[in-house]
Each structure stands twice: as structure tokens, then as C-alpha cells.
Structure 1
């Protein structure tokens, strides 16, 4: 996600395929082709191209954290003491390797990192604090916010419209 890539040219069919897959990636090729009004062969070829070019990064199932015992969501702002490229890379590698870190962003301005954590409970959070923050001498400041309610979680992207094509 951090590397800058040339955008790929997408037409209305590609956008309809992406829209449908963002809604339900479990669709069979036959069902997807019918939903986007194209032939199964064309649909399969298009999906393969979207995957090969990295437009579709991966297909996953979205799970309920609360039903799986990981009901504590924490959003962490973190600033390092030394901020050279090697220090940022070292902390980032440590953070992304930790199973509780679900998202990791280098941000600017302000803190160096924004982490989204998914944990079972406060004991799990305290264990993570020891692993990632306290034991790392380069961590200067940590500010954590605990989610009390998830009002919206939408992992899909808003897709552009192409003039002359129906809105998605």
C-alpha cells in the first residue's frame, strides 16, 4: 500500500465487477457474470486481470470480532524518539508482525504511526503495551483511544463512475 503505483485503466465492466466483488466476493463466476451483464469467459478474464495487476489485492471473509472473543478495539497514536528511516522501518516491522495489530499506518503530520488493534480485553492490551511500546526504548509517546461503539465499518472503496455508464 505504501508504494506509489501507476493507476490502471478501468472501464465500466471492470467497475461493475469490482463493485459486485466488494459486496460479495463469494459469488461464483457464473453469478458474477450474470450480475455484471457479461459472459462468464469475459468475467473470468477480467477478474484474473484485476488480480494480476494488483487492483484486487486479496479476497477475504469479514469476521465479527465480538463473536470471536476479540471485542476490544484500540486506536493508537505513537511517536518515536529517533525518527530516521531505519528507526521507522524497525518499529513498523515489529508492529506488523504482532497479531493484535490489524492495521498500521505511517502518518504525517503529528504522530509517526497510527495502529488499529483488535484484542480480547484490557489484559491483552497491557500485554501488547509491554511487547511493543515499553520494551522499545525508541517509543517516546503513546496515546490510545478505546472504541466504545463501532458505528460504521466499511472496508470497500468508493469506485469512480464513467460518463455514459450507469451509476453503481
Structure 2
């Protein structure tokens, strides 16, 4: 893994990022008013943050329950072999499953991967597990936990460290 050059952000950049993380729908005019810039410099700063790869993309967050997606599962997955080819094949496959919201290669557990999966209900989860996850070559163990309540559900990064 190559070292990525850290980009130095000033206070205004951090304010822009904090506002966009909380309110991604803001127009440039609204954003510029909130951060104390005129619209043109604000727009240039946002473009520079995008060009630098700090702003990766903008998304709309949906209410999963209102859409009938009421079951969230955390799945720990063990692999039979720890080879780059095995991991690449697994990652390619789970990337095709829209039910998978997050996938992490982890350490410190009796598992290699942790997935966050959202489906309508237990029957759908059962089908997902049996017909997709356990059919991926190399999967040797699966442990499922189910979310009872979302205590913190944020996509915002802690910019206070910058």
C-alpha cells in the first residue's frame, strides 16, 4: 500500500466539509453563507476538495425502514485460505450484492471480513445467506448478528482531529 499525501486543510475547508457532511443538499449560495465566503470562492474551494479526492461523492441517505428494509445484519466471515486471489475473488463477488452496505477486511476476530447487510426481513436474510454468501468459494465460516436499534448512525467523519 503506497503512502498517500495528506492534504492540509484550513479552518474554512473544515467548515465546508462539516456543512456538506451534515447537509449535502445545500446549494453553493447556502453553503457560502454558512461558511462566511462569497459564492465564487466557496465554489472554487469545493471543486478543489473534489479534485483532491477529499470529497469522494455526494449521496442521498434513505430511511431504510420506510422502504421496507427493516433487518440489518452484521456478518463475520471466515475464509479457508488467506491468499490475495481468494480475497480478491470474495471482494469482487460481495461488491455485486446490493444488500451489502459495507464490507471490511478485519483483524482481531475469528473472521476475515465483516459485512453490514440490509434486507426486508429474516426470510430474505436466510435466502441471501444460503444462496449468495455461503456459495462464494472460500467462505469457511459465517457468524450473524442482528441490529436491534441504531444508536449512532452517521456517515460524518470527525474533522476535529485535522
What TM-score range do you get, normalising by the shorter chain?
Answer: over 0.9
Which residue does 1:66 correspond to in 2?
Answer: 65
Gaps of 5+ in 2: none
Which residue does 1:109 correspond to in 2?
Answer: 108
SS class of match (1:97):
coil
Asked if the contact 1:102–1:115 (Cα under 8 Å) also holds between the matched residues in 2, the reply is yes
SS class of match (2:144):
strand
Which residue does 1:48 correspond to in 2?
Answer: 47
Asked if the contact 2:79–2:139 (Cα under 8 Å) also holds between the matched residues in 1, the reply is yes
SS class of match (1:130):
helix
Normalising by structure 1, what TM-score? 0.90
How do 1:1-168 residues align onto structure 2 when only pairs under 5 Å count?
5-110=4-109, 111-160=111-160
Q: State how far apart, in whole Å, the 1-side matches of 2:32 and 2:55 are.
A: 17
How far is 1:78 from its partner? 0.4
Gaps of 5+ in 1: 163-168
Q: State how far apart, in whole Å, the 2-side matches of 1:83 and 1:159 are.
A: 35
Instruction: Please list the CA deviations of residues 10-30 of structure 1 after superposition, one character each: whole Å capped at 9, or x if unmatched.
Output: 111100100111110111111
Q: State how far apart, in whole Å, the 1-side matches of 2:2 and 2:49 are.
A: 18
CA root-mean-square deviation? 1.6
Asked if the contact 2:79–2:112 (Cα under 8 Å) also holds between the matched residues in 1, the reply is yes
CA distance 1:5–1:38, shift in 2 (3 Å): same
SS class of match (2:24):
coil
How far is 1:152 from its partner? 1.5
